[in-house]
Chain A
Amino acid sequence: MKSLESWGRYPQVEQRTQALTWRSDALPEVSGSVLPHGLGRSYGDSCLNGGGTLLLTSGLDKFIDFDPATGVVRCEAGVSLDMILRLGAPRGWFLPVTPGTKFVTVGGAIANDVHGKNHHCAGTFGRYVRRFELVRSDGSRRICSPDENPDWYGATIGGLGLTGLITWAEVQLKPISNPYVLQETVPLANLDEFLVVARESEADHQFTMAWVDCLARGKKVGRGLLYRGNFAPPQFDGLPLAKSHLSHGIGLAVPMDMPSFCLNRLTVSAFNWLYFHRQNGRPKQRLTHYDPFFYPLDAIYGWNRIYGRRGFLQFQCVVPYSTARDALKDILERSSRGGLPSFLSVLKTFGDIPSPGWLSFPRKGVTLAMDFANRGEKTYRLVEELDRVTREAGGAVYPAKDARMSPESFAAYFPRHTEFAGYVDPAFSSSFWRRMHPVSLPFSLESERASGAPQPQSVLALR
């Protein structure tokens, strides 16, 4: 048993691993359940398979085709967004939608139907997935697209890796005229101001998001900085860009787990105060390379280690506009009252562009992401409370960032979950999925917990 962690490093489970190398190979025959696992950037347990096997897809990292005229890239599921940017950006093509890290595989981006700072005008990643191949444990291979096997297409986008193994996918990139973003930073006094400025910004900015100081209380709840931007217009007079324009930044690494006393209410509030006041209360404009604009945290490799060995819990919810103000105020106040610092909290608005994925998380409203250092029961209870508040507000919690939502919440958030369950591959499972379906034998939580329990018979072995 080798232990692979999720990005939040909670929960810790024991699981086997099996590396995949060739897209034309059959699925490996293993006992127990399997789950595809890319770069492990999901925060909670949706990329873990305690007691089972993770199919490591990072070896499926070959490109199949790239057309510089149309911007359509076809590649294996283990190709990372970083690799696509290295291929596309120098040729004038960028990801249509990107999450806050480029160290995500294409398969993972589909399985979680990731979103970015441009959801209000672009929707989710899944919308740009033209086709992909899905391999099931019965040996079948399906090409899935809006026209071919559309049901499998819909189930697999946002399907958390449970419908089978995506071997390759075809993604439509979008043209850019240079790799720089014209970015504007606007200080926000509180949540109400965010709600106004964010909506206004949507009209003429492709990218918006706001950092919030989650320790601010009272009238200052929701105090923060809103970042908005657009790719800069051509400014290099048609000359080819120098190499230095195409890559950016030095990489720093967190060399070891930081002791937990480094992150406490005092240090976080000092950081937040400095971060906020650096702005002098005025909007600022600057030109910035896409790398620090989209991936500020990627520059610090292994930043999750600042939370120490116990890791952290991420919580991201979306709530409809009708309930947003009260629900988000409630959530921010609860987390602030709990005295557990959230180092990085992000507010953003989602538009109403629908995703083809049945279990897609983004929906029209306001989304808030926070992370909490893992302090045991206290933290679990807080996150569970936030889940309940979200549910009561008619919102949803993001499975890719969750480790505590209740099965009832999952059912409420994803009304197509029963239909989806019919598409889950019998040999595939995850710790998250079993948490949502505590009685779904044969891969139950109970057998995971009971040490030395006999391995459940593999559906693959029976074939």
Chain B
Amino acid sequence: MKKVLVLGATSAIAQATVRLLAARGASLYLVGRNAANLDAVTKDAATRGAAKVESKAVDLNDFATHEALVEGAFQALGGLDGVVLAHGVLGDQAESQATWTATEAVLRTNFMSAVSLLTPLANRFEAQKAGTMVVISSVAGDRGRQSNYVYGASKGALNVFLQGLRNRLAKANVAVVTVKPGFVDTPMTAHLPKNKLFASPEKVARGLLRAADSRKNEVYVPGIWALIMLIIKSIPESVFKKLKL
């Protein structure tokens, strides 16, 4: 990935990824919601050696802007060969259970806005017969659990969408990489008590770029989550529904 669009560039995992890409001398088009924070990430990337950094502050929940945003990124960098989609919200399971509005907000940000952005990107990548699309999903999308199934559902739906996209774009030489981090120590999880399973954003970013470089399909970062989720997925539903997970 030499010319990369980063969506949700101010998120902790994206920031760490941006640093690694900048150090490689990539050109970057950074998108985030908060203009001041985005500016901080942009300047950091430029100082650390990015060949070129452009940025645009937008709220990605405004789907009407997506076509123009993608067009703008292609124009600014003179083409794109990579996308890192990193925006998302954790939401609040209790609130989501209480109101559809809260559920809808999670689904819109994590699933629908991603689909809305990936649609024009996929078409362009398919036409140019090149590119790598890296999407940050979550282990939570592997199986619905009572503690966060709304967030999980948004990521699960995203995973299925990406599977289909991968299937479609394979013959166009476009890689679609689904990255499934476990617990990551970021502002999104600041309120949660930390344990040994929490990984740093830097570690996740390194795993993400390794997966992108080798054009993997689905990766768990850190790798231990492949085993954990294998076990969780293999518990029979009749048993699973009685567990407090």
Contact = CB atoms under 8 A, between A and B. Distances in A.
B78 interface: no
Interface string A14-41: 0000010111100000000000000000
Contact of B36 (A24, A63, A65, A75): A24
Given A63-B48, A87-B48, A23 B40 contact: yes
Given A62-B43, A64-B43, A22 B36 contact: yes
A64 B37 contact: no
A423 interface: no
Contacts of A103: none
Contacts of B36: 22, 24
B40 A22 contact: yes
B187 A21 contact: yes
B146 interface: no
A66 interface: yes
Interface residues of B, number: 11
Contacts of A87: 47-48
A69 to B, nearest CB: 14
A62 B190 contact: no
Nearest to A76: B40
Most buried by B among A19, A22, A87: A22
B44 A64 contact: yes
Interface in B135-155: none
B34 to A, nearest CB: 8
A24 B40 contact: yes
Contacts, number: 30
Nearest to B42: A62
A62 B190 CA distance: 20
A65 B47 contact: yes
Contacts of A22: 34, 36-37, 40
Report whether over half of chain B's contact residues are helix, strand or loop; otherwise say mixed. helix
Interface string A291-311: 000000000000000000000
Nearest to A2: B194
Contacts of B84: none
A65 B41 CA distance: 11
Contacts of B48: 63, 87
B216 to A, nearest CB: 27
Contacts of B41: 62
B47 A24 contact: no
Interface residues of A, number: 13
B229 to A, nearest CB: 28
A65 B43 contact: yes
B47 A64 contact: yes
Contacts of B43: 62-65
Nearest to B10: A22
Given A19-B190, A21-B187, A63 B37 contact: no
Contacts of B190: 19
Contacts of A24: 36-37, 40
Contacts of B47: 63-66, 75, 87
Interface string B31-57: 000101100110110011000000000
Contacts of A62: 40-41, 43-44
B213 to A, nearest CB: 19
A23 B47 CA distance: 17
A462 to B, nearest CB: 25
A24 B36 CA distance: 7
A60 to B, nearest CB: 9
Contacts of B37: 22, 24
A280 B43 CA distance: 52
Contacts of A64: 40, 43-44, 47
A146 B34 CA distance: 32
Contacts of A21: 187
A23 B43 CA distance: 13
B58 to A, nearest CB: 18
Interface string A382-401: 00000000000000000000
A66 B44 CA distance: 10
Contacts of A63: 43-44, 47-48
Contacts of B187: 19, 21
Most buried by A among B34, B43, B190: B43
A21 to B, nearest CB: 6
A155 B47 CA distance: 30
A76 B187 CA distance: 18
B237 to A, nearest CB: 39
Contacts of A19: 187, 190
A23 to B, nearest CB: 6
A75 B44 CA distance: 8
Interface in B9-47: 34, 36-37, 40-41, 43-44, 47
Contacts of A76: 40
Interface string A50-77: 0000000000001111100000000110
B23 to A, nearest CB: 9
30 contacts: A19-B187, A19-B190, A21-B187, A22-B34, A22-B36, A22-B37, A22-B40, A23-B40, A24-B36, A24-B37, A24-B40, A62-B40, A62-B41, A62-B43, A62-B44, A63-B43, A63-B44, A63-B47, A63-B48, A64-B40, A64-B43, A64-B44, A64-B47, A65-B43, A65-B47, A66-B47, A75-B47, A76-B40, A87-B47, A87-B48
Given A24-B37, A62-B44, A64-B47, 8 more contacts: A22-B37, A22-B40, A63-B43, A63-B44, A63-B47, A65-B47, A76-B40, A87-B48
8 smallest CB-CB distances across A and B, nearest first, come from A63-B47, A62-B44, A24-B36, A66-B47, A63-B44, A64-B43, A22-B37, A62-B40
